[in-house]
Amino acid sequence: MNSSVNKFLLLVLFSSLVIGLTPEQEGGFWASATEQSTVSSVNHGGSVYTIVKINGAESVLLDSSFKPVEDEGTISDVTNTYLKNRFEDANFATELGNFKDNYLFLNDSISTCLTGVNWFTRFTINGNPYRFYIILAKIDFPKENAAYFSLKEKLPAINASNDAAQAAFEQLKGAEGAKDFRDTFEALGLLKNNLNEIKKQYPPIYDAYINIKSPNFPYAFHVKGVEYNCDTTANMTKKIDDVILVANKYSGPEEIVNRIKTETAARKTSAQTKKLSANQANTIDEIENQLNGIISNYTEAGLELPGLKNELVILNRTNSTTPEKFQEDAQRYSLKLESYQRILSTYVSAKAQVDEADANVAAAVQKYGSNDERVLKLQQELSESKNELQRQEELLAAGNTDEINFETVTASAASVAQEALVLQPKENQIDYATVVGVIIIVLALVGALIYFKKTREKTPGEIDIRQLQQNEKEKHEKK
């Protein structure tokens, strides 16, 4: 058999040992120890794809063989199918309604705060009384002065984020009404991103607000007699997080495609390493299960296999070396296990045949004596069969199957057993066993006759019928 065929057979055998992993296990390879992974199946174009979410965000796309998809066109097509399925899910409309209500509540808090601080900064610049205190008398009000200029610096960014969030919300309402799933998820993604920006931008706004208001200017953020307060950073953060928690479940198609491309490239090497390690561990477990079954069968047959056990220990060590080395060693070890499984029945037959030959030769020795040249020949042949059996047992125990051929042992032992079984006495040769048997039988018969004779002599009141007949005859003659 040529080397290419051997390699093919090894590959087929090794593949049968690799236990199939679940989509959840496959997805887990792409997450770090501190991350949580979940998976969603998508039927697209007649194939089943798996989207791996890392901490809730779509991050990797796997094909039906669980290989990462890196073609942007395929990623985009599968993503569209995935989003369409989500949009049409019965629970989505309810969840989206709750999301919109939560956002409106949040937006009211953000807008109230921004209305007050925006009015204050503009009014102060335009010469209201606060200008004289906060700007011109900054030596007396350094805290308020610093807060004022902080507001001027930070407000443009948070205003832009809030405007973008409100625009995304209007886009969301329009897309939902038009049943446009792409635009719906696009708007959700934009809204989520801008809320995340507001979450980062809000703390310095609140700090400036409170530093201006307390304790010297409690009415600084009143507009036409109405107070426009800013909620604490902790409260505002919680409100934003409550909305983002729902929004994080949804991303726009472009965002998902870009994230999948980026995350796949960043995580690919680590995921492949984890998967390789898992496959190797599963292979070791499967091989060990096979080995335990084989060892149990051989132990029952009377043979221990320490060499085969040691080879598994060595194979386990290659788990940490190169994948190619592990695969090659695992394939060869698996082939050896297959050999041991095939050899078992021939080994048991050989042992049984040697035992039968041993019993038949022992019987021949008893019948014809140990000096009979035919018996001597049978004993020699039996010894050769036993020695060959022992030699091959030692090879098996050491983990070597290259020279194993128990069929030859069985054949030679069977020949000895049959020859011993049909062995006949030579002409004029005394069969000692038969003579002894006859003597025993004769002695038994003689003993029985003597016993019955003595028993008859000792029986009281016994009458000889012949004597009675003679007496009766003499009486008639006298008459």
Please give the share of the chain, as a percent, with pLDDT higher than 90.
63
Pairing of strands 47-54, 37-44: antiparallel
Query: Residue 331: pLDDT above 80?
Result: yes
* Sequence-ordered list of residues with C-beta below 8 angstroms from that of 448, at least 6 positions apart, any chain: none
Report residue 160: phi and psi, to 5°: -65, -45
pLDDT digits (tens, 9 = 90+) for 10-29: 444 444 444 578 999 999 99
* Sequence-ordered list of residues with C-beta below 8 angstroms from that of 463, at least 6 positions apart, any chain: none
Over the Cα atoms of the chain, what is R_g?
50
Whether residue 171 contacts residue 187, with contact meaning beta carbons closer than 8 Å, is answered with yes
Vertex 216: Cα angle to 211 and 221 (nearest 5): 65
Confidence label for 456 from pLDDT (cuts 50, 70 and 90): low
Name the residue with higher pLDDT: 460 or 258: 258
Confidence label for 216 from pLDDT (cuts 50, 70 and 90): confident
d(CA 170, CA 152): 28
d(CA 164, CA 237): 18
d(CA 365, CA 96): 97
Strand, helix or coil for residue 60: strand
Q: What's the pLDDT score for residue 11?
A: 40
pLDDT digits (tens, 9 = 90+) for 224-274: 889 999 999 999 999 999 999 888 788 889 999 999 999 999 999 999 989
pLDDT digits (tens, 9 = 90+) for 286-311: 999 999 999 999 999 999 999 988 98
Q: What's the pLDDT score for residue 403?
A: 85
Whether residue 133 contacts residue 141, with contact meaning beta carbons closer than 8 Å, is answered with yes
